[in-house]
Structure 1
Amino acid sequence: MAKEQIAVAELVLNMILGKTGGTRVDYFPQKPDFPFDAVYEQAFVHATPESQGISSDLFAALLRELDASKDTEMHHFMALRHGKVICECNFAPYPKGMWHITHSMCKSITGMAIGMLIEEEKLKLDENIYDIFPDHINAFSKIFRPVITVENLLTMTSGVTFNESGIVSGNDWLGSFLNASVNGKPGTEFQYNSLNTYVLSAIVTKRTGETLTEYLTPRLFGPLGITKYYWETCPKGITKGGWGLFLCAEDMAKLGQLYLQRGKWNGQQLVSEYWIEISTARHLKTQNDTYGYGYQLWMEQRPGSFEYNGMLGQNVIIYPDMDMVLVTNAGNKEMFQDCIMLNIIRKYFPVNYHPADVLPENPLSYSLLKRLCGELENGENNNRSTSLRGGWKRNVVSRRKHSDKKYSYRISAAVDRPSDHHSFMRAVSGRTYVMEQQNIGIAPLFVQVFHNNMTDGISEISFTYDAGNFCVFFTEGEVIHKLPVGFGKAADGCVDLHGEHYLVATLGEFARDENDIPVLKLEVTFIEECVKRKAHIFFHEDNGIEIRWNETPGKKMILAGLSSITEELSGNFLYNSLLGDHNITTELLHRLMEQTIEPAVRGYLKRPEETGSIDTDE
């Protein structure tokens, strides 16, 4: 059993067994705060859709359908034609101009860097990666290694078995990749692996002495006027390359427009025309029978079109024949190209669609489009606002009694009507509850795992209502997260995760379940990410609470990612030895993971003499 498999097994089991803390990978805070004061440079000119040959009605219908679909969770949308923004919409609570995690969309940027390196004659496509990193290969590997070229990395055909799940095994990702086994003959079979892109980033550093970010700043980001960005590194300081980039939607659009302009920007050739041509050509068919793969980018349905694609809906779609770029940020329930969001977009821009050069202006349709965008940005006319409603599930949890005559005042008696959230807020204000199970974090599992920032566990939850402002406080480790809660419209806040600050927007709703139990529903949106944390807090008559946690994208997607791992591990002797006295079958493991992803935990009311003061200052 490889060490990376053991590490994955440990991570899964620690989650199931309720253990908090880190992984085998060293954690260090690196995410900076969003640079609100940084000057945004080289913004695009805006124009009406009609002036660029497309109707406002088309975009209005597209936005409505994207918003209405239960399988899409739109955050940002932007459309350019002839280099002008003709439609822009930011879906509440995601604000305009905020950077957003791009996931694998940034692989295409790493591919651009390789093209620049080749243009500078510092690298060749047919170079063997083992010759580039001779000091990282053990003696056995030097004898039995096949030839894996830079081009194999670009086309995802290296066949190397060390992949995304293996990075939890330690700090030396490059060494693990170079010494891992290889499936099949390199260059023959498409096997998507983000570590291929990570090694491309490492090659940039090896040949230039700079990180990928340092290398691209004067060559790409600077000339494009991209000033608000951040790209994570591995524990060894190598830019991740295949994930971990935070970027604004309009800056994503610049990268698409750059390729439309054959690599030229303001008269300067940033990416060679040769690289534009070769990287956007279809080099092989993909396993899931989509439209093919080039050099770190995907082909699209429309002939000649292509995209920079990241999971959960991070896309830059380039249509050369229409001189058009579309940008999306989302938190979809699906992973890559074959998803409902992209199929909706393809429906409005099918293969046989050919926009006019110009259309007569239509002030009424354009004003209706602008009003629709305003409503979506303000959280009005938002079909996804119903996400706080319904879905009552009875998860069985232990019900320890903590009743005390001193605390006989019941929350349920204080609130006469479900809509009377002011009475509810007054009733819970000043109360602190101690959680019986203290391994649940405020951050979704997606955030914890992707950023190697694991929870210390929430130990207490408190409430305050002062001067019309309602706040919920989560004590996690040594930090108290203060979350202002908005009713009807999300309230802005921030959480500190081991020195990394994540901007959030929290929406609240008071309701009663089918048993007439008062419930506070919270939806905490991580506005720089693709994910949301949800908590339904039930206030019982015994002065206890029950919190049912959830996150989106949720259980189905996480379990799908874990299923292949757990099935592979379940029959392994070393894996079973890790279980110790825990007799966990694969079926039971999946059920336990469901409870880990959607846990239900109890808390009891803390006595006043045990309760410290809560700082309500902003």
Structure 2
Amino acid sequence: MINHLPAAIASLNPRSFLVKRQGRLLFEHYRDPLLASEPAIINSCTKSVLSALICIAIGQGLLPVPAVTPVTDFFPQLKADADIRKRDMTLQHLLTMTAGFRWDEFGGLNSFPRMTREANWIAHVLDQPLSDPPGTRMTYNSGVSQLLSAILAEAAGKSVARFAEDTLFRALGIEAYEWETDPQKIHTGGFGLRLRPADLLKLGELMLQKGVWNDTRLFPAELAALAVRPFAPASPPYEGEYGWHWWCRVFTKVNGGQDALPSSRDRKPVDYFYAQGFGGQFVYVVPEAELVAVVTQDSRKRKQPTLFAELIGPIVAGS
């Protein structure tokens, strides 16, 4: 099934495309060979790296159980907020983007660009009014990712980048990276990380292996499972469901190949999860197929269709 890929890549013309299955590299493509060694912006895939770091911190006892830990433990100023519902906000609500803040990433409110123009991003996010009670609706929000980055830095007693080096990057052999910070020098939780495509692939492999790398457990398997569990349906214009800063979807595999008119009994749902970043950055993980894939692009379109059906689905369908 791998033979179809060059034609698909030719039409897509990505910066890079890598597929690994059962530990074997099936395909590795770079628009320019130099791109293999160049850390590239991964945009919101940064969120999924942060998710792995949060799992590590929980596993080390640096952070408490997210589902029952109020955000006021880290930002006590919320106790004085006029909207008492903010006191019900938990760490898990931040991880699943169900905190309830009134936020429109790039739409009418233009919330994300507004945040990046503020002198204090954390204060700005905490000051936003609620549109929903915490836990009731997923709203895509890079502001809550910045709150998580601040929480992680406080819990670890070091910068997020240093914590990443000590607990994740060194273990995965990631040496080349760049990471932006906000005005308070807190590393950006929702974007701003640059990684090489092959290193981004390692993140997917780590999640496929449920927190284990080279026979060493970096975080508990139950946390790896929680991170990619669908907690809430995505709010339009986003699709699928959302976990702990990972997207979750289902692909319909037709047993026995791509039949033109398959019966319902031939259809088999296959769960997968993925990281997604602005401009067409993706890390796909298909546990059933033991497959991980990375796509990086440099599109300027805000809405990026998932490329799973075109590039990854045929491999899964043929398995």
For this structure pair, what is the TM-score category when the shorter chain's length is used for normalisation? 0.7 to 0.9
Q: Which of 97, 122, 127 is equivalent to 1:156?
A: 97
Encode CA deviations 1:339-391: one digit per residue, 9 max, x unaligned.
4x4442255246xx142xxxxxxxxxxxxxxxxxxxxxxxxxxxxxxxxxxxx
Q: Which of 23, 38, 44 is equivalent to 1:98?
A: 38
Q: Which residue of 1 aligns with 2:108?
A: none
Q: Which residue of 1 aligns with 2:283?
A: 316
Q: Which residue of 2 aligns with 1:109?
A: 49
Alpha carbon RMSD of aligned pairs, Å? 2.2
Does the residue aligned with 1:199 lie in a helix, a strand or coil? Answer: helix
Is the contact between residue 211 and residue 239 of structure 1 (CA under 8 Å) also seen in structure 2?
yes
Is the contact between residue 62 and residue 344 of structure 1 (CA under 8 Å) also seen in structure 2?
no
Q: Which of 218, 227, 249 is equivalent to 2:197?
A: 249
Q: Which residue of 1 aligns with 2:176?
A: 228
Change (3 A) 1:192 1:140: closer
Is the contact between residue 310 and residue 336 of structure 1 (CA under 8 Å) also seen in structure 2?
no
Is the contact between residue 249 and residue 273 of structure 2 (CA under 8 Å) also seen in structure 1?
yes
Give 1:199 shift. 0.7
Q: Which residue of 1 aligns with 2:258?
A: none
Over alpha carbons, which structure has the higher Rg? 1
Residue 279 of structure 2 corresponds to residue 345 of structure 1? no
Q: Tell me how far apart the structure 2 counterparts of residues 199 and 141 of structure 1 sit (CA, whole Å).
A: 20
Q: Tell me how far apart the structure 2 counterparts of residues 114 and 306 of structure 1 sit (CA, whole Å).
A: 18
Q: Tell me how far apart the structure 1 counterparts of residues 85 and 176 of structure 2 sit (CA, whole Å).
A: 45
Encode CA deviations 1:14-71: one digit per residue, 9 max, x unaligned.
xxxxxxxxxxxxxxxxxxxxxxxxxxxxxxxxxxxxxxxxx441xxx32322322xxx
Residue 249 of structure 2 corresponds to residue 300 of structure 1? yes
Does the residue aligned with 2:27 lie in a helix, a strand or coil? Answer: strand
Change (3 A) 1:235 1:333: closer
Matched pairs, number = 291
Encode CA deviations 1:213-257: one digit per residue, 9 max, x unaligned.
111211100011000011111010101011000000000111111
* Paired letter, 1:295: W
Query: Matches of residues 326-475 of structure 1 in structure 2 within 5 Å?
Result: 326-332=293-299, 334-335=301-302, 338-339=305-306, 341-349=307-315, 353-355=317-319
* Paired letter, 2:8: E
Q: Which residue of 1 aligns with 2:257?
A: none
Q: Tell me how far apart the structure 1 counterparts of residues 78 and 248 of structure 2 sit (CA, whole Å).
A: 34
Q: Tell me how far apart the structure 1 counterparts of residues 225 and 308 of structure 2 sit (CA, whole Å).
A: 24
Does the residue aligned with 2:190 lie in a helix, a strand or coil? Answer: coil
Q: Which residue of 1 aligns with 2:130?
A: 182
Residue 7 of structure 2 corresponds to residue 64 of structure 1? yes
Is the contact between residue 73 and residue 332 of structure 1 (CA under 8 Å) also seen in structure 2?
no
Is the contact between residue 141 and residue 179 of structure 1 (CA under 8 Å) also seen in structure 2?
no
Q: Which of 216, 227, 236 is equivalent to 1:279?
A: 227
TM-score normalised by structure 2 residue count:
0.84
Give 1:328 shift. 0.7
Q: Which of 27, 30, 37 is equivalent to 1:87?
A: 27
Is the contact between residue 130 and residue 178 of structure 1 (CA under 8 Å) also seen in structure 2?
no
Q: Tell me how far apart the structure 1 counterparts of residues 201 and 175 of structure 2 sit (CA, whole Å).
A: 14
Is the contact between residue 78 and residue 87 of structure 2 (CA under 8 Å) also seen in structure 1?
no
Q: Structure 2 regions of 5+ residues with no counterpart?
A: 104-110, 252-269
* Paired letter, 1:316: V
Does the residue aligned with 1:304 lie in a helix, a strand or coil? Answer: strand
Is the contact between residue 181 and residue 188 of structure 2 (CA under 8 Å) also seen in structure 1?
yes
Give 1:106 shift. 1.3
Q: Tell me how far apart the structure 2 counterparts of residues 336 and 271 of structure 1 sit (CA, whole Å).
A: 33
Q: Which residue of 2 aligns with 1:239?
A: 187
Encode CA deviations 1:536-555: one digit per residue, 9 max, x unaligned.
xxxxxxxxxxxxxxxxxxxx
Q: Which residue of 2 aligns with 1:290?
A: 239
Does the residue aligned with 2:137 lie in a helix, a strand or coil? Answer: coil
Give 1:334 shift. 4.1
Q: Tell me how far apart the structure 2 counterparts of residues 305 and 325 of structure 1 sit (CA, whole Å).
A: 10
Encode CA deviations 1:411-470: one digit per residue, 9 max, x unaligned.
xxxxxxxxxxxxxxxxxxxxxxxxxxxxxxxxxxxxxxxxxxxxxxxxxxxxxxxxxxxx
Change (3 A) 1:337 1:150: farther
* Paired letter, 1:79: V
Is the contact between residue 138 and residue 179 of structure 1 (CA under 8 Å) also seen in structure 2?
no
Change (3 A) 1:175 1:141: farther
Is the contact between residue 70 and residue 87 of structure 2 (CA under 8 Å) also seen in structure 1?
no
Q: Tell me how far apart the structure 2 counterparts of residues 144 and 260 of structure 1 sit (CA, whole Å).
A: 36
Counting aligned pairs with the same residue, the percent is 26
* Paired letter, 1:228: A
* Paired letter, 1:279: A
Change (3 A) 1:209 1:142: farther
Encode CA deviations 1:111-157: one digit per residue, 9 max, x unaligned.
112112222223221222123122x5594448673421110111111
Q: Which residue of 2 aligns with 1:400?
A: none
Does the residue aligned with 2:125 lie in a helix, a strand or coil? Answer: helix
Q: Tell me how far apart the structure 2 counterparts of residues 144 and 285 of structure 1 sit (CA, whole Å).
A: 21
Q: Tell me how far apart the structure 2 counterparts of residues 333 and 246 of structure 1 sit (CA, whole Å).
A: 17
* Paired letter, 1:67: A
Encode CA deviations 1:259-288: one digit per residue, 9 max, x unaligned.
122211122101210111111111111123
Higher helix share: 2
Give 1:75 shift. 0.4
Q: Which of 188, 195, 215 is equivalent to 2:163?
A: 215
Q: Structure 1 regions of 5+ residues with no counterpart?
A: 1-54, 356-618
Change (3 A) 1:269 1:93: closer
Q: Which residue of 2 aligns with 1:418?
A: none
Q: Which of 132, 142, 161 is equivalent to 2:74?
A: 132
Change (3 A) 1:182 1:226: same
Q: Tell me how far apart the structure 1 counterparts of residues 78 and 240 of structure 2 sit (CA, whole Å).
A: 36
Q: Tell me how far apart the structure 1 counterparts of residues 313 and 100 of structure 2 sit (CA, whole Å).
A: 35
Is the contact between residue 167 and residue 173 of structure 1 (CA under 8 Å) also seen in structure 2?
yes
Is the contact between residue 322 and residue 354 of structure 1 (CA under 8 Å) also seen in structure 2?
no
Give 1:291 shift. 2.5
